[in-house]
C-alpha cells in the first residue's frame, strides 16, 4: 500500500471523527473528492429534478472529471486536515 493510500484511509477515518459537522458545501466537496479518489470519473446517470440531493452530489462529483485519483486523494486529505 502506498503512503498516499494509507494517508487517504486515515483521512477517511478522521472524517468520521470530526468534532463539528461541516457546512453543506464542504460536505459536497468531501463526497465528490471521495468518489473521485475511489471510483474515478463519474459515469453514472444524472438524477432527475425531483432528487435535489442526488443532483447536488452528482454535480459536485462530475465537476472533478479529469482529476486523477491520486490528486483527488491528496485534495481529500488536505481538506480533512483543514477541518480538524
Give the tens place of pLDDT for each residue, 58-84. Answer: 999 999 999 999 999 999 999 999 998
* Residue 2, pLDDT score: 85
The cell numbers describing 41, all together, are 470519473
* Residue 84, pLDDT score: 82
The length of the chain in residues reads 84
**Which domains occur in the chain, in start order?**
3-83 (1.20.80.10)
Give the tens place of pLDDT for each residue, 6-49. Answer: 999 999 999 999 999 999 999 999 999 999 999 999 999 999 99
Is 7 within 8 Å of 64 (Cβ atoms)? Answer: no
**Residue 18 to residues 14, 26, 27, 50, 76: CA-CA distances in angstroms?**
7, 13, 12, 31, 14
What is the spatial distance between Cα 3 and Cα 7, in angstroms, rounded to a whole number? 6
Amino acid at each position: 500500500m502506498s503512503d498516499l493510500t494509507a494517508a487517504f484511509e486515515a483521512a477517511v477515518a478522521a472524517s468520521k471523527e470530526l468534532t463539528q459537522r461541516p457546512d453543506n458545501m464542504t460536505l459536497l466537496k468531501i463526497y465528490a473528492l471521495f468518489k473521485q479518489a475511489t471510483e474515478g470519473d463519474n459515469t453514472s446517470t444524472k438524477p432527475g429534478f425531483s432528487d435535489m440531493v442526488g443532483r447536488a452530489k452528482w454535480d459536485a462529483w462530475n465537476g472533478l472529471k479529469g482529476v486523477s485519483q491520486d490528486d483527488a486523494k491528496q485534495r481529500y486529505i488536505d481538506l480533512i486536515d483543514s477541518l480538524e
